[in-house]
Amino acid sequence: MNFLFVLLIVSASSAAKLRPKATTSHAWLLENGAEYSQIIFSPAKNLFFALANNRVDVISVSPGSPFVQMRFDLPLPGQMLAVHPDGELGAVAHNSYISFLSRVGLTPVVATFTVPVVGTSGLIVIDKKACLWPNYGQWTNIVCVNLEGDFESCSSSIYGGGLAFLHPSGSWVYSPNTGLSPQSVHKLATNSSCMDQLWDNPGWGDYHYGNHWWFSYDGSRAFLNTGMTVATTADQNTDMQVHGYFNASTGNNPHTWISQSAQGDHQIAGLKPDTSNITLYSWPYLMPTSTIPFPVPSDPRATTPSPQQVHFADDGRLYTVGKYGQSGELWGVGYIEFN
């Protein structure tokens, strides 16, 4: 038998035996979980930011069960929440207003300003400003507002309803549209006050780019909820080139959430719509290595678990966000620790 063939078999067998094992798993229902409409995890702070109708709760799960570390009371109902990558500044979009969330010591501070955006489909916080993507109109403009309340309508026109996913570098935003067929993606660059449009995806009409993007630990790839991956580079000739699918699929392989560890072998955790388990994938080949159960709170109300999010953090944990209850009205959070 060919030596190389034997070596490949041994290597494949060894890889197949890799089974990351959860040593501990904890989950809890949030005390006011039925009131939240959106939860964001900040890996920079290991904190959850939860948007309710009239407030934002900052929730910690360290050292034990979750508790509200800080609360921001909002003057208006919130439509969408975004948090700066460093976890120090947040923003909530309202109907024609924007609220910035910051703190002075242990005191929460909310500053609210008017903006010419009634409904929001995308929101990012970067470089001491918030930028809003209007969810209406055939052609419209992104609006950015600074911490003093000065706003600017960016010069490039976009199709209303565009989404916004901030690259880990903080320099670019990828914006898939949701109202055009075939779907396209705008690449924009952040500047001191607004957004500059760079280019669109190659091969217009060849692929569906989904409605949620996550990025690899090094920023070199984007993982799409369709299961497709694309390159994310500063070169228009290579940016957004298709880089394959999870599990070596040749077509859509839907995921509802994806997160990659910045540590060790950079394993990837994915949630799929057809299972309540978490699938772990290898890097860079995106092949499944194992599945682990999604944490469920030890609470009789925590029925019908519906996994929503997974987040690798620098403390080595995989944090989780789920919905529970017969109608999925109760939010819960948790974490998994690996050997």
Q: What is the pLDDT of residues 316-336, one digit of tens each?
A: 999 999 999 988 889 999 999
pLDDT of residue 14: 39
- Peptide bond preceding 85: is omega within 30 degrees of 0, i.e. cis? no
Closest CA to 299 of 40, 26, 99: 26
Cα radius of gyration (the chain):
21
- Do residues 216 and 224 make contact, with C-beta atoms less than 8 angstroms apart? no
Please give the full DSSP string across 149-164, using - where no structure is assigned: S-EEEEEEEEETT---
pLDDT 10s per residue in the chain (339 long)?
443 333 333 334 334 444 545 568 999 999 888 899 999 999 999 999 999 999 999 999 877 789 999 999 999 999 999 999 999 999 999 999 999 999 998 899 999 999 999 999 999 999 999 999 999 888 899 999 999 999 999 998 889 999 999 999 999 999 998 777 678 999 999 998 899 999 999 988 888 899 999 999 999 999 999 999 999 999 999 999 998 899 988 777 899 999 999 999 999 999 999 889 999 999 999 999 999 999 999 999 999 999 999 999 998 999 999 999 988 889 999 999 987
3-state secondary structure of 284: coil
Distances (CA, A) of 144 to 90, 150, 186, 288: 14, 8, 17, 40
Q: What is the pLDDT of residues 67-105, one digit of tens each?
A: 999 999 999 999 999 999 999 999 999 999 999 999 998
pLDDT of residue 150: 97
pLDDT of residue 22: 55
Q: In sequence order, which ranges of 274-332 are alpha helices (DSSP H)? A: none
pLDDT of residue 33: 84
Distances (CA, A) of 40 to 19, 46, 161: 29, 10, 21
Q: Order of strands, edge to edge, in the sheet holding 306-312?
A: 22-29, 330-338, 318-324, 306-312
Q: Which residues, 6+ apart, have CB-to-CB distance to 333 below 8 Å? A: 27, 28, 30, 39, 48, 59, 61, 66, 319, 320, 321, 322
3-state secondary structure of 219: coil
3-state secondary structure of 270: strand
Report the C-alpha dihedral over residues 41, 45, 46, 51, rounded to 10 degrees. -30
Q: What are phi and psi of 21, to 5 degrees?
A: -120, 130
- Do residues 87 and 60 make contact, with C-beta atoms less than 8 angstroms apart? no
Determine the Cα–Cα distance for residues 192 and 187; give it in Å rounded to an integer: 17
pLDDT of residue 188: 96
pLDDT of residue 252: 78
